[in-house]
Amino acid sequence: MLIIFLGILSQWIAWRLQLPAIVLMSIAGLLAGPLLNIIHPAESFGEMFNPIISLAVAIILFEGSLNLDFKEIKGFNKPVWRIVTVGAFIAWIAGSLAAHYMAGLSWAVAFVIGGLFIVTGPTVILPMLRQSKLASRPAAILKWEGIIVDPFGALLALFAFQFVLFAKGDETAAAFGLFFLASLFAILLGIVAGRAMGWLFEKGMVPEYLKSPMVFAVVLLTFTLSDIVMHETGLLAVTAMGMAMANMHISSINDMRHFKENISVLLISSIFVMLTASIPLDILIGIFNWRIIVFVLAMLFIVRPLSIWMSTIGTDMTVQEKILVGWIAPRGIVALTVSGYFASTLLDAGFQDAELLTALTFALVLATVVAHGFTIGWLGRKLGLASSAEPGIIIVGASKFATLLAKTLLDLNKNVLIIDSAWGRLQEARLTGIPVHAGEILSEHTEYEVDLMPYETMVVATETDAYNSLVVSNFVPELGRGNLYQTALQVGDPTVFHSSLSGRNLFGDEWNILELDKKLGEGYSFRKTPLTDQFTYDDFKRNGAAGTIPLFVKRTLGRIDFFTSDQGVEPKNGDIIVSFSPPAYQQGRLQEKIDTNRLKALPQSKE
């Protein structure tokens, strides 16, 4: 209970304070485990400890690979494949040299652990990308590298171990053949499992309520069968399975992806707390060994940048992208779990210096998680590879009212984007200088053509109620229902659509987009009213013309709060109220100015 609670609590605190979640989870585990001695997961779970972590890693890795659609890297697949092949090989050699000369490990142990340390992995890189809001291209490069290299790092360490045993005479050449055959079997098993599941789904042979549970079960089965054939090949199998399903473009893939994402958040939170809480205190103290510190620094500032810069020679990666990708390489759960396996295996094989592996791995994991977690967003913004602006607003539908709403937000220095499927309807917005995208918001191509990462609020304002609700339902997992708004329903009875299918009603239940456009035709206009000590919100309500529709409030810190039917907004002094005012108000204001100017023109009486 405490493991799950601490993991999710860390995620929530990280979200509230905009801090790297991985860092807080690690701190929570260390406090509850070796420092305060409250929990001992390795002892509590006993023989189930390693299987639980292995199966959890398999699910996390599958969920990550389910996002590896080749369309995502169309146009920059060359640097991705260079990094996961040439870059991984350079990182292995350079990391092994650092482990030997700086950490003092024997050549055999150094080459085993050097292969393992090429991993970054979705357990750490995906939470970082979620918070950092990097541009789509560097984010995709880091994501693909982390997911693909994760199983290959474990296999590379296994290959190095097989070679070490062969060099000692403890293994025959046939073992190498078995290694490659087992790896090939894992890839084929994963592809067959993924294609088979996709075929069953496309043919309608699995009901909707069983799709996610069935995938969940098949992932565990695929991982276990492959791992029985040869240890550490299960990760390769589930990665191949996820990629096979991702590139089949199954219609229900998004539902499964959301389910797996929710499971992954829970597992990542729990597993990180379990692992850090199980670190013995002597190993925690041992990471301050000067050799370990020098090794970690070399991995951060020499090995990683060297592997990225050398492997991307001749690609179209910019200098800024090379700097960012060359710095970000956090290690996570796979490195911790697999290093524990090889530490015991190498010790059994007679390599006594392998007892240093756990402390070495934990030092690298902790250092990279902290260093990269706190700097990825800052460095991305400094290099122009992340959104430096505050979160923006997407408006779906390019009606006259929606266009004027976007223009008003733009005038208030807000980041706005209008999306509409018809190019012609966007003409007025384009002429006004509003950023636009002509395309279907529900199309999978949109996420490749438009970077939606900088936007966390969506206003859906088309003329079709059912379509508005469909868009809202589609984006609930990404944005949350609290950040999804739609104009009021045009049907007479608002209960026709259940609240779970709709966004928050903008401006009140009676103001649908047709009525708002009609008001524009009657002469309504947008009005900005700053609130001060002399003119408060009560004055605004008291002096406003009849028929005025409050739209939203811009807070002093820049946040936009829309007026909705389900929640009142309390503007304060210093805020700006934007309202939709009738022509009577404008005429009244004009008359006030005329009267004022007339009074000024009258001769002043003399005392």
pLDDT digits (tens, 9 = 90+) for 261-282: 677 778 878 888 888 888 888 8
Write b or e for each residue in 562-601: b if 16 or more Cβ atoms lie within 10 A of its Cβ, otherwise e: bbbeeeeeebeeebebbbbbbeebeeeeeeeeeeeeeeee
* Nearest CA-CA partner of 273 in 71, 45, 460, 452: 45
Burial class of 121 by CB neighbour count within 10 A (0 to 12, 13 to 18, 19+): buried
Report residue 605's pLDDT band, with 50, 70 and 90 as the boundaries: very low
Containing structural domain, residue 155: 2-38+59-382
Q: Is residue 455 scored above 60 in pLDDT?
A: yes
Q: How far apart are CA 307 and CA 406, in angstroms?
A: 45
Inside any domain, residue 43: no
Pairing of strands 392-396, 455-460: parallel
- Could you report the per-residue pLDDT of 542-600, keeping only the tens digit for each? 776 667 888 888 888 778 888 887 667 778 888 888 888 887 655 445 444 544 454 45
Residue 294: predicted pLDDT: 93
Residue 297: predicted pLDDT: 94
* Nearest CA-CA partner of 530 in 578, 592, 576: 576
**Cross-strand partners of 457:** 393
- Could you report the per-residue pLDDT of 125-135, keeping only the tens digit for each? 777 776 777 87
Q: Is residue 291 scored above 80 in pLDDT?
A: yes
Residue 89: predicted pLDDT: 92
Residue 308: predicted pLDDT: 93
pLDDT: is 8 or 151 the higher one?
8
CATH code of the domain covering residue 373:
1.20.1530.20
H or E element: which one contains 25?
A: helix 21-30
In this structure, are 399 and 355 located in the same domain? no
Average pLDDT over residues 305-317: 91
Q: Is residue 533 scored above 60 in pLDDT?
A: yes
H or E element: which one contains 465?
A: helix 465-479
Angle subtended at Cα 183 by Cα 182 and Cα 189, rounded to the nearest 5 degrees: 85
In this structure, are 164 and 303 located in the same domain? yes
Instruction: Collapse the DSSP code of 560 into the 3-class scheme (helix H, G, I; strand E, B; otherwise coil) and give the result.
Output: strand
Q: Is residue 393 scored above 60 in pLDDT?
A: yes
Residue 599: predicted pLDDT: 43
Q: Which residue has the tokens 């903008």?
A: 506
Q: Is residue 389 scored above 70 in pLDDT?
A: no
Instruction: Collapse the DSSP code of 331 into the 3-class scheme (helix H, G, I; strand E, B; otherwise coil) and give the result.
Output: coil
In this structure, are 67 and 8 located in the same domain? yes
Residue 301: predicted pLDDT: 94
Report residue 192's pLDDT band, with 50, 70 and 90 as the boundaries: very high
In this structure, are 419 and 506 located in the same domain? yes
In this structure, are 211 and 115 located in the same domain? yes
Q: How far apart are CA 312 and CA 323, in angstroms?
A: 11
- Counting the structural domains of the chain, the total is 2
Q: Is residue 4 scored above 70 in pLDDT?
A: yes
Residue 273: predicted pLDDT: 86
Q: How far apart are CA 96 and CA 103, in angstroms?
A: 10
Residue 101: predicted pLDDT: 92
Q: Is residue 12 scored above 60 in pLDDT?
A: yes
Residue 49: predicted pLDDT: 85
Listed in order, strand segments (DSSP E) in 37-196 are: none
H or E element: which one contains 185?
A: helix 174-202
In this structure, are 368 and 400 located in the same domain? no
Average pLDDT over residues 447-459: 75
Highest mean pLDDT range out of 184-188, 246-250, 543-547?
184-188
Q: Is residue 59 scored above 90 in pLDDT?
A: no
Q: Is residue 65 scored above 70 in pLDDT?
A: yes
Average pLDDT over residues 479-494: 72
Report residue 602's pLDDT band, with 50, 70 and 90 as the boundaries: very low
Inside any domain, residue 174: yes
Highest mean pLDDT range out of 68-72, 246-250, 427-431?
427-431
In this structure, are 397 and 305 located in the same domain? no
Inside any domain, residue 123: yes
Average pLDDT along the chain: 81
Inside any domain, residue 54: no
H or E element: which one contains 521?
A: helix 513-521
Count Cα atoms within 13 angstroms, Cβ side, for 15: 9
Q: How far apart are CA 267 and CA 123, in angstroms?
A: 9
In this structure, are 498 and 373 located in the same domain? no
CATH code of the domain covering residue 438:
3.40.50.720
In this structure, are 504 and 363 located in the same domain? no
Q: Is residue 304 scored above 90 in pLDDT?
A: yes
Q: Is residue 295 scored above 90 in pLDDT?
A: yes
Cβ atoms 439, 446 nearer than 8 A: yes
Q: Is residue 461 scored above 60 in pLDDT?
A: yes
Q: How far apart are CA 266 and CA 250, in angstroms?
A: 25
In this structure, are 344 and 221 located in the same domain? yes
Q: Is residue 327 scored above 90 in pLDDT?
A: yes
How distant, in Å, are the alpha carbons of 100, 290, 335, 576 from that of 161? Answer: 15, 27, 16, 66
